[in-house]
């Protein structure tokens, strides 16, 4: 059986693609080239399906949620708050998995930030 080798891209609709791309660059440090190519360090990726009624993604209209690995969750959340981003107040910790925090981008997409254990 042929198998996928990894995530090749993540695409989202935006009312203002240039402004949203700038937010991801300026707030999260996501440096992409003119085609959106981003080379990231190797590390774990989680692929999981959730129940259709979950509120974990925030808005019920949001069908997927992007999760970024971060080195220092507290520093990233402080950076986002300093830039005026909408950061969730709680941080969750899962033994053996890591710590999680959330931010909402300017177009209303909830994003999960994960500091692996």
Residue 7 confidence (pLDDT): 85
pTM over 0.85: yes
Residue 5 confidence (pLDDT): 81
Domain that residue 69 falls in: 17-39+61-116
CATH number of the structural domain spanning residue 68? 3.10.180.10
Residue 93 confidence (pLDDT): 97
Residue 2 domain-assigned (yes or no): no
Residue 45 domain-assigned (yes or no): no
Tell me the C-alpha distance between 117 and 107, whole Å.
30
Residues in contact with 2: Cβ distance below 8 Å, sequence separation at least 6, in sequence order? none
- CB-based contact 73:99 (threshold 8 Å): yes
The number of domains in the chain is: 1
Per-residue pLDDT for 111 more than 90?
yes
List % helix, strand, coil for the chain (3-state, nearest 5): 20, 20, 60
Range with lowest mean pLDDT among 2-6, 27-31, 90-94: 2-6
């Amino acid at each position: 059986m042929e198998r996928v080798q990894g995530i090749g891209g993540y695409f989202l609709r935006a009312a203002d693609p240039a402004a949203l791309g700038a937010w991801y660059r300026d707030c999260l440090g996501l440096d992409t080239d003119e085609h959106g190519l981003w080379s990231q360090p190797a590390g774990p990726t989680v692929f999981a399906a959730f129940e259709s009624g979950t509120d974990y993604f925030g808005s019920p209209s949001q069908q997927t949620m992007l999760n970024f690995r971060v080195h220092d969750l507290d520093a990233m959340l402080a950076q986002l708050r300093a830039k005026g981003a909408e950061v969730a107040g709680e941080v969750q910790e899962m033994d053996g998995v890591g710590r999680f925090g959330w931010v909402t981008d300017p177009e209303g997409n909830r994003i999960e930030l994960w500091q692996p254990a």
